[in-house]
């Protein structure tokens, strides 16, 4: 038996009658040019749409796309947090290496 509450996401279901007499959850219409979040390839389509959007970062003085943003415009996702932490760690190592070279040169 199918648990239809899983498909309803807490709202009343709309049903569509099929030619063979059975019913299935109705597909809601999506506006032209929009991506249906319930679609199978939603994540891939959003990612490809983000690759087409280019913005300019005033801090970097460079262009970046929303799929791979510059370090100043990262999201709060775990992947981007990890990238930011690696960036900060590299900055600290760079600062400490510059500091040690200054001590040696005097």
In the structure encoding, which two tokens stand for residue 6, read together?
């899983």
Provide the domain limits for residue 80: 74-106
* pTM to 2 decimal places: 0.55
Mean pLDDT to the nearest integer, 64-72: 90
Percent share of the chain, pLDDT over 70: 80
Question: Domain for residue 63, yes or no?
Answer: no
What total number of domains does the chain contain?
Answer: 1
Choice between 55 and 27, residue whose per-residue pLDDT is larger? 55
Question: Domain for residue 91, yes or no?
Answer: yes
Question: Domain for residue 56, yes or no?
Answer: no
Question: Domain for residue 84, yes or no?
Answer: yes
Question: Domain for residue 57, yes or no?
Answer: no
Are the C-beta atoms of 16 and 27 separated by less than 8 Å?
yes
Are the C-beta atoms of 30 and 42 separated by less than 8 Å?
no
- Tell me what the pLDDT averaged over the chain comes to: 83
d(CA 7, CA 21): 20
Strands 54-57 vs 23-25: parallel, antiparallel or unpaired? unpaired
């Amino acid at each position: 038996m199918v648990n239809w509450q899983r498909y309803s996401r807490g709202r009343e279901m709309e049903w569509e009658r099929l030619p063979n007499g059975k019913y299935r959850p109705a597909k809601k219409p999506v506006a032209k040019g929009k991506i249906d979040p319930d679609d199978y390839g939603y994540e891939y389509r959003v990612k490809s749409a983000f690759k087409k959007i280019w913005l300019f970062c005033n801090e970097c003085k460079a262009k970046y796309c929303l799929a791979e943003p510059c370090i100043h415009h990262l999201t709060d996702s775990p992947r981007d947090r990890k990238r930011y932490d690696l960036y900060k760690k590299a900055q600290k190592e760079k600062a400490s290496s510059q500091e040690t070279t200054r001590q040696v040169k005097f």
